Amino acid sequence: SQQGEEDPQALSIQEGENATMNCSYKTSINNLQWYRQNSGRGLVHLILIRSNEREKHSGRLRVTLDTSKKSSSLLITASRAADTASYFCATEDNYGQNFVFGPGTRLSVLP
């Protein structure tokens, strides 16, 4: 089944800096989603971007999608210690049915 791959695997930044995470996938998609997972908790949906969209914003989050490169990026601006979490991209499987999650990027925001 198709799976997004996040990059980098781990990222450590100072509070106030911007954090950028990337997701690459293999085959055509209709939608791509980003989720956050705090330590010991379930995943929380952040944002969905459709294949006909290039950019979406939600608060301090900015997601871009480049279907020609089969990649997406998640930008968190003015990061806070509370943004420390793992971030996952999810793409549809090869049948366009369920979402398949990548291995995630572990973000650490240092105070």
b/e per residue 46-82 (b: at least 16 CB within 10 A): bbebeeeeeeeeeeebbbbbeeeebbbbbbbeebeee
Rg (CA), the chain: 13
Q: Which of residues 44-73 bind other proteins (CB under 8 A)?
A: 44-46, 48
Closest separation in Å from C-beta 53 to other proteins:
12
Stretch that binds other proteins, among 18-26, 35-43, 57-65, 72-80 (CB under 8 A): 35-43
Residue 10 is a binding residue for other proteins (CB under 8 A)? no
Those residues with Cβ within 8 angstroms of residue 85's Cβ, 6 or more apart along the chain or in another chain: 36, 37, 38, 39, 107
Q: 3-class SS at 106?
A: strand
Minimum Å distance from CB 94 to other proteins?
A: 12
Among 39, 52, 68, 97, binds other proteins (CB under 8 A): 97
Give the number of residues in contact with other proteins, rule: CB under 8 A.
24
Which residues in this chain contact other proteins in the complex, by CB under 8 A?
30-31, 33, 35, 40-46, 48, 88, 90, 92, 96-104
